[in-house]
A and B are shown apart, each in its own frame.
Chain A
Amino acid sequence: MSLLSLVLVNLGRNKRRTILTALSVLVALFLFCALRGVLDTLEASIRVGSEARLVTRNAISLIFPLPLSYQERLLTVPGVRSVSYANWFGGRDPVDQSNFYAQFAVAENYLPIYASDIEIVAFDRPQVAGAVPPGVDPKLAAFMNERDACVVGERLFNRMKWKLGQTVPVSGTIFPGTWTFTVRAVYHAKNPAMNEEAMFFHWKYLSEKGMGGQGQVGWYVLELSDPGQAGAVTRAVDALYANSAAATHTETERAFQAGFVSMYGNVPFLIGVIGLAVVFAILLVAANTMMMATRERTAEFGVMKTLGFDDGTIFRLVLVEAAVITFGGGALGALLAKLVIEGSDFNAMGLLPPMTVRWATVLVGVAIAVVIGAASGLVPAWQASQRRIVDALRRVE
């Protein structure tokens, strides 16, 4: 009789206990992988931004604007191919204040910079045929020719059940009043990490209606002719404005995005701690089960030893039994986490990329399950293998 078939028979002996233990390991590993998945997602979101683009913002913080006049000078910095800019609008849905989505006021040449990340999937035809500026997707003609038009993400478009040509009200928080935008195009994010729940509208409209034509820019996006020069351009730009009224802080788009994630502060650390507590808790459950299983089989191990099974075999028998239970539960739990979390479609209203549980995380989960199984079986296995035959047989239930 091979070791494995013995293990299987033992597992089937108290099916209820085996199943309950496997289930608790399943739940725990599900939770562990789901929590790691949140961290995976946060980590993925710091890699969203491109390293071939720079973002220049006010050195004090993002809430301070920069003058529009910087655009011309930024273009003269060697290595900069084009300069665009955007503002955070920060409006709210007037009907449901808790229904949040991001709105950005963007320059004419802003969307073309992201042409490879987005794709226009629905659009209105322009009423009057007008020329679009070079580099702009011809599908955006209707958007480009209308002062208060907007382009919205597909997810947002579907969630809000908007239609093309519909007028959407937004109440401003930074720029007071009720604003209306006409939906003229819908984009799909080809890059899954790109926010598909945002609205883009003309910066000019914001400037005229909200800033009295003062020309304040939230941040500049600099396209580089050579990404290798990012460091040099960063230094050149910041040196340019070091002693001006609005000093700048320039970093790669990736670092800029990562900055938002670092604002979560200690939260990722806390999630990690909870994950560890979960793992420790199942270790106890599994250890308890294995102790119960070996205790009631003490006499049996005595018989097996009498028959000639050596200590090592008994040791392995208990250890493998524990590992099989936790491996079964753990692998199922980890896979379930991947399915459920990735299927949940949760993206914190567009603030996070879609949730992911990396395969590496699933593997770590399974590995942890096996290690827990082995660890929980260690003491009972040691006890079972070391007990003398006389003692084992003497114990009467």
Chain B
Amino acid sequence: MPIPISYNVRNVIQRPWSTLATTIGIALVVAILIGAFALASGFQAALVETGSDSNAMVLRTGADSEISSGISLDAAHILKALPDVAPGPDGRPLVSADMVVLMNQPRLGQEGSSNVTVRGIDPPSLALRPRVKLVAGRMFAPGSDEVIVAQRIARRFAHCDIGDRLRFGQRDFTVVGQFTAGGSGFDSEVWGDNAVLMPALNREGAYQSVTFRMRDPSRFAELKRRLESDRRLGVEVRTERAWYAGQSRLMSTVLRAGGILITLIMAVGAIFGAMNTMYAAVGQRTREIAVLLTLGFTPGAVMLSFLFESVFLALIGGALGCLIALPINGVTTSTTNWSSFSEIAFAFRVTPAGMIAGLIFAAIMGAFGGFLPARQAARQSLAMTLRAG
């Protein structure tokens, strides 16, 4: 017969300070694990959600980022005229040939500068990327030297408020609007009319990428084969989503691996702490355990009971860790995505999966920390213990 769980629960409550110290220690480890996962998920989400499965993205063969790509004007014309391009509500094809460059801008409130992505777009771009929504000001007028700026970037870099002027090459561009893009990578960009930006930046020879809505996304494989074998183009075709997922892979792997490494090391320390607490718990209750054994509870049941107590203690810590980590959800941070060499602003994203991982991790810490003390409890000699008392 197993020992009732309430026995352990009461014991944990009996020693509030010791319980608190152990659980907070475990809580911090769990909070850091969840935080690191939230960082990686937020980063990944920012990029993966930039792309849609129904959009196709065309870059030059071999290009591993938009800035290293180049699509000649001729190739762009061919792509824009493809019958595979879906028409928008106004009947015009949903396609945008983008010019993408980086602009080095000083940061606000932090030393140094970073590269901000500047994207010159075609008018259908907003319909093509429905996540992008203007939240302040207005859209730039086609053919004018006006730009719109992502709100997340506006908070981090100088000269990005409405009415401010950004200098590209020899021309000043006026910021007339701010947009959000639902946490995607576009949230880190500046958009303007490519017909104006390209001459201003001496980029008239080529676009960087062409994105279009597919009339029939299920026939993507066939489309890809056809375009990639077209020798006039020399391009690679991916779904927009696959492209952005690829751009996030390096950084999110590094962030996640770093987070796991740090938490694993921290966990070892927390396990030692939990062992201390459990040894003390076992030590204080030597006689109690002896009584339990005398009453006929098997050593196995005693061991299980103490193991459970340890896991229970750790799970309280895990839950506490989740609570500590929760407020960072939505906090915006930024770093350079080395895959594209440009600044990306993104929000921590605390996911249910991350929290469950944290709880499981806590339980494992509890099990490791409780194993040896629990075994000691189960193995103690009855006669000796009772006589000593």
Residues of A in contact with B (beta carbons under 8 Å apart) = 16-17, 20-21, 23-28, 30-31, 34-35, 59-64, 90, 92, 97, 171-174, 176-177, 243, 245-247, 249, 258-259, 261-267, 270, 274, 277-278, 280-282, 284-285, 287-289, 291-292
Complex contact A21–B113 (CB within 8 A): no
B54 within 8 A of A: no
Residues of B with C-beta under 8 A to A262: 107, 110-114
Residues of B within 8 A of A97 (CB): 64
Select which of A90, A258, A285 is within 8 A of B273 by beta carbon: A285
The CA of A26 and the CA of B269, in the complex, are separated in Å by 8
A17 near B21: Cβ-Cβ < 8 Å = no
- Per the 8 Å Cβ criterion, residues 84-119 of B in contact with A are 101-104, 107, 110-115
* Contact of A27 with B276 in the complex, beta carbons under 8 Å: no
Q: Is the CB of B262 within 8 A of A31?
A: yes
Across-interface contacts of A59 in B (CB, < 8 A): 104
List residues of chain B with CB within 8 A of the CB of A247.
169-170
CA distance A28 to B269 in the complex (A): 6
Given the contacts A27-B266, A31-B262, A60 and B169 also touching, CB distance less than 8 Å: yes
- For residue B65, CB closer than 8 A to chain A, the reply is yes
Report B223 CB to chain A, min CB distance, Å. 22
CA distance A64 to B102 in the complex (A): 8
Cross-chain contact B102 with A62 (CB below 8 angstroms): yes
CA distance A90 to B64 in the complex (A): 9
Is A245 a contact of B65 with CB atoms below 8 Å?
A: no
With A27-B268, A61-B102, A63-B341: A285-B112 Cβ-Cβ less than 8 Å? no
Interface string of B3-40 (1 = CB under 8 A from A): 00000000000000110011011001101100000010
- On chain A, the residues within 8 Å of B28 by CB distance are 277-278, 280-281
Q: Is B273 in contact with A266, judged by CB distance below 8 angstroms?
A: no
Given contacts A31-B266, A60-B104, A60-B201, contact A288 B61 (CB under 8 A): no
In the assembled complex, the Cα of A237 lies from the Cα of B110 at a distance in Å of 27
Could you tell me if B22 and A288 are in contact, using CB atoms closer than 8 angstroms?
Answer: yes
A23 and B335 form a contact (CB under 8 A): no
Contacts of A264 in B (CB 8 A): 335-336
Chain A residues near B67 (CB, 8 Å)?
63
A391 to B177, CA, bound (A): 73
By a CB distance below 8 angstroms, the chain A residues around B269 are: 23-28, 31, 278, 281-282, 285
Chain B nearest Cβ from A174, distance in angstroms: 4
A172 closest partner in B (C-beta): B62
Beta-carbon contact of B18 and A265 below 8 Å:
no
Please, how many angstroms separate the alpha-carbon atoms of A97 and B64 in the complex? 10
Closest-CB distance, B49 to chain A (whole angstroms): 20
* Given A262-B110, A282-B25; 16 other pairs, CB 8 A cutoff: A17-B276, A21-B273, A24-B268, A24-B269, A31-B262, A59-B104, A63-B67, A176-B63, A177-B62, A267-B335, A277-B32, A285-B25, A285-B270, A288-B17, A288-B276, A292-B276
- For A62, list chain B residues within 8 Å (CB): 102, 104, 115
How near does chain A come to B127, taking the closest CB pair, in angstroms?
29
Give the docked Cα–Cα distance between A270 and B29 (Å).
15
A172 vs B63: C-alpha distance in the bound complex, in angstroms? 8
With A31-B265, A172-B62, A173-B62 already in contact, the answer to whether A288 and B169 are too (CB < 8 A) is no
CA distance A287 to B24 in the complex (A): 12
10 contacts between A and B (CB under 8 A): A16-B279, A35-B262, A60-B104, A60-B201, A62-B104, A173-B68, A263-B115, A266-B335, A281-B266, A282-B269
- Check B31–A277 contact: CB distance below 8 A: yes
Instruction: Please tell me if the beta carbons of B25 and A63 are within 8 angstroms of each other in the complex.
Output: no
A382 to chain B, nearest CB (A): 14
Within 8 A of A (CB), among B246-300: 262, 265-266, 268-270, 272-273, 275-277, 279-280
The residues of B that contact A173 with a CB separation of less than 8 Å are 62-65, 68
Chain B residues positioned under 8 Å from A16 (CB to CB): 279
Complex interface: chain A residues within 8 A of B169 (CB):
60, 245-247
Complex-state Cα separation, A246 to B336, whole angstroms? 25
Chain B proximity of A7: nearest CB distance (Å): 19
Establish whether residues A64 and B170, one from each chain, have CB atoms under 8 Å apart when the complex forms.
Answer: no
A264 to B113, CA, bound (A): 10
What is the CA–CA distance of A62 and B103 in the complex, to the nearest angstrom?
A: 8
Q: Which residues of A contact B218 (CB under 8 A)?
A: none
Alpha-carbon distance between A249 and B115 when the two chains are bound, in angstroms: 14
Residues of chain A lying within 8 A (CB to CB) of residue B68: 90, 173-174
Q: Which residues of B lie under 8 Å from residue A21 when comparing CB positions?
A: 272-273, 276
Question: In the complex, A90→B170 CA distance in Å?
Answer: 28
Least CB distance, A161 to chain B, in whole angstroms: 24
Complex interface: chain A residues within 8 A of B25 (CB): 281-282, 284-285, 288
> Are B276 and A285 interface neighbours, CB within 8 A?
yes
Instruction: Across the interface, name the chain A residue whose C-beta is closest to B281.
Output: A292
Report the separation of the CA atoms of residues A278 and B270 in the bound assembly, to the nearest whole angstrom.
10
Closest residue of chain A to B67, judged by CB? A63
Q: B60 in the interface, Cβ–Cβ < 8 Å?
A: yes
CB of B168 within 8 A of CB of A60, answer yes
Q: Decide: A259 and B336 in contact? CB cutoff 8 A.
A: no
Shortest C-beta distance, A208 to chain B (Å), equals 19
Query: Top 4 A-B pairs ranked by shortest CB distance?
Result: A262-B112, A288-B21, A27-B269, A285-B273
Minimum CB distance partner of A35 in chain B: B262
Which of chain B's residues has its CB closest to A249's CB? B104
A271 to chain B, nearest CB (A): 9
Whether the Cβ atoms of B266 and A28 lie closer than 8 Å is yes
The answer to the question of B309 belonging to the interface, with a C-beta cut-off of 8 Å to chain A, is no
**B380 in contact (CB, < 8 A):** no
A277: B residues at CB distance < 8 A = 28, 31-32
How many Å lie between the Cα of A82 and that of B31 in the bound state? 54
A289 to B25, CA, bound (A): 13
Chain B positions within 8 Å of A90 at CB level: 68
Residues of B within 8 A of A267 (CB): 335
- Give bound CA distance, A253 to B375, whole Å: 62
B343 at interface (Cβ–Cβ under 8 A)? yes
Cβ A259 vs Cβ B112 within 8 A = yes
| Cα–Cα distance between A30 and B115 once the two chains are bound (Å) | 35
CB neighbours of A265 from chain B (8 A): 110, 114, 333-336, 343
Contact (Cβ within 8 A) B275 A20: yes
Nearest-neighbor residue (CB-CB) of A260 within chain B: B336
Smallest CB–CB gap between B209 and chain A, Å?
Answer: 14
A288 to B28, CA, bound (A): 15
- Cα(A294)–Cα(B62), bound, Å: 67
In whole angstroms, how far apart are the Cα atoms of A172 and B61 in the complex? Answer: 10
Task: Please measure, in the bound complex, the distance between the C-alpha atom of A209 and the C-alpha atom of B113, giving whole angstroms.
Answer: 33
| Residue in B closest to A281 when the chains form the complex, CB atoms | B28
A397, closest chain B residue (CB)? B284
**A213: shortest Cβ distance to chain B, in Å?**
15
Give bound CA distance, A270 to B331, whole Å.
12
Residues of B within 8 A of A258 (CB): 112
Q: How far is the CB of A102 from chain B (nearest CB, A)?
A: 12
The CA-CA distance from A147 to B168 in the complex, in Å, is 37
